[in-house]
Chains A and B, each alone.
Chain A
Amino acid sequence: MPPRVAVIVFPGNNCELETARAVENAGMSAELFRWNRDAKELDQFDGFVVGGGFAYQDRVRSGAIAAKEPIMDGLARAAEAGKPILGICNGAQILVEAALVPAVRGSDSLDMALAPNRMVKNGHVVREGYFTDWRNLKNLAPPGRCAFNLDIPEGELLPMPFAHAEGRFTTADAKVREALVSGRHVVFAYATPSGEVHEEFPDCPNGSIFAAAAVCNVPGNVLAIMPHPERADTLKHVPSSFPGPYGLARRRAFGDPDALNRPGPGRRLFDSMRKFLREN
């Protein structure tokens, strides 16, 4: 039996179908799980993905309303039980607002925010608000630091698209900031094609601390990632002009449907989730 993964759907999410497809493409079974079902039913699942979109239309603050839903108590129990949970984009905002990431001060402490984008270059704000593009994500953590980077060597670059207005990981808590570094919570960071990581725009597209694109919790079973791995699930998703090996492979696959449907960079995270579920 393949591992069972619930793709959580809040009103206003809009990425559930491609997210479920990415889960299935990685050899797991995906089921759409609407927010108003009994949270106890989550116990039947092995892993969870909270997808992207605009839960509750981002009312009050992105992720703030969804974080208060009873289903989040079920996800918190699953997180404590060590089950893997991936929050993508709006899903990441929900996990952060629900205090499941990074949870360095405990599972019920709101340690971070995903604040509005604020792009700074040479000390000046050059842009703010919604931004979408592709960037390389650099794996900053040793393989296995979290459930979603098991077979990804430290330093490897994975091209991925992002599309958000509130994607700036930030914290006002100096101890949390320290812990993010000492605990290697920043699993993926935005990077240049040569692998350099800078907090300034355009290398970092939103002003995140440490140019963070994805942050995990202390044990590593919960990951909040702002870019969209499900939108980089196959090679055909990768822009042919993108520099690096994935862009080259995409260009070489031109006109070959089989080659275009080979796994893309985003699949690596879902493959890792499947491996984590098989080994744990």
Chain B
Amino acid sequence: MSRTFQVLVSLKIPDAVANTALNTIRRRMNLTEVASLSRAEWWCAEFDDACPDPQDRLRALVERTGLFMNPNKHRYQLIEGATPPPAPAGAAHILVVDREDTVGAAAQEAARAHPLAGGALRTLRRGVLWTLAAQPGQGKTSRQIAEELAVSTHRTAGLFSNPHYQDAILPP
């Protein structure tokens, strides 16, 4: 048995990656109804069920190791469970994960070896959680646009993941 938590790390400062993606979606892919796009680094940590304080341990790892964030420019949110929280009203999430999660594997190795983990951290996975919102009443819903953009299929369609090494998940 285990307990799973997610950590969402986002920038306090303007996110140039999300702004560039939004610009491409609106100006190059002609989806002008997309009103906003934001991005968070998504971490999913699985702890031994026997660990009495997994949330405190994860919080300490996030705040004190520098593995997940730099507090000068990032903020984070810790959530219990393995499924991303529901998107804000009128928005849709797209979670992109690498099938061979090399960044997550490296972080897992470092975090598991850290004394703050207390030997209780089992696995750590990484992904990117995009949150997209369309202007209401402009035709397509946020969910429909998110489905359209989740997987790149050719030069002009899809953006957020390359299906040859990534999975795109649209949480309910």
Contacts and interface: CB of A to CB of B under 8 A. Distances in A.
Interface of A: 56-57, 59-61, 64-65, 67-70, 72-73, 76, 97-100, 108-113, 115-118, 125, 128-129, 168, 170-173
B165 A170 contact: yes
Given A59-B17, A61-B162, A173-B164, A72 B24 contact: no
Interface residues of B, number: 27
Interface string B141-172: 00000000000111110111111111000000
A59 B20 contact: yes
A210 to B, nearest CB: 14
Contacts of B156: 68, 108
Chain A CB count within 10 A is highest, among B24, B106, B154, B156, for B154
A112 B166 CA distance: 11
B29 interface: yes
Given A68-B155, A118-B100, A128-B106, A113 B29 contact: no
Interface in B7-45: 16-17, 20-21, 24, 28-29
B60 interface: no
- Greatest chain B CB density within 10 A among A56, A57, A129 is at A56
17 contacts: A59-B17, A59-B21, A60-B159, A61-B161, A61-B162, A64-B162, A65-B21, A98-B155, A99-B154, A108-B154, A109-B153, A111-B164, A113-B162, A115-B165, A116-B100, A116-B103, A128-B105
A68 B20 contact: no
A118 B155 contact: no
A152 B13 CA distance: 51
B46 interface: no
Q: From A100, A116, A168, name the one whose CB has the most chain B CB atoms within 10 angstroms.
A: A116
Interface in B104-158: 105-106, 152-156, 158
B93 to A, nearest CB: 16
B102 interface: yes
A118 B98 CA distance: 12
A110 B166 CA distance: 13
Nearest to B28: A68
Nearest to B162: A113
A208 to B, nearest CB: 12
A97 B162 contact: yes
Contacts of A98: 155
Given A59-B21, A172-B165, 10 more contacts: A56-B20, A65-B24, A70-B28, A99-B154, A113-B163, A113-B164, A113-B165, A116-B103, A125-B102, A129-B106
A65 B37 CA distance: 15
Contact of A60 (B17, B105, B153): B17
